[in-house]
Amino acid sequence: MKFDQFEFLTQQTFGQINSDGSPTMRFADILPDRLHPLVLAYVGDAVFNLYVRTRLLNFEQNRVRVLHGHGAKMVSATLQAYALRQVEQELTEKERDIIRRGRNAKANVPKSASVSDYRSSTGFEALLGYLFLEGNNVRVNDIAERCFVIISRKLTNIDES
């Protein structure tokens, strides 16, 4: 990123502060329907990553290396795609439409996942990002928890299907 771009983003993010110290921009100012699906996926990736890390604290609270290793496996594109396939029929038409937008977004696919899995995981992350930015935290939690359980069972060979 060029320095002038960084400076612009810094001003946009931190430069506009109310007299009480709160930022002038709130989630209510963001219209998720107008955001590019890769931007939604960017936010959704962070949402699911934080969800998984927080949930893992129920099982381990002292060994960061263990937490990081297990968390990294759980948020992999392959396992996200697997979980999405398991829950997709339970989603609303609007949610499936957001996933389709995310799947169809053009992005560079890493070598660690197939094109199909990477595109599916991008759709999954776009959905979580959309719901989070909409303020629908109950639905984010429902979907993230369902996927967390599916992925956990897959990793421990207690497959649901």
Where in the sequence numbering do the catalytic residues fall?
A: 45
Rounded to an integer, what distance in angstroms lies between the CA atom of residue 127 and that of residue 41?
Answer: 7
| Residue 17 bridge partners (DSSP) | 23
For residue 104, count CB atoms less than 10 angstroms from its CB and return exposed for 0-12, middle for 13-18, buried for 19 or more: exposed
Query: Are 49 and 73 contacting, i.e. CB atoms less than 8 angstroms apart?
Result: no
User: Which residue bears the tokens 């649901």?
Assistant: 160
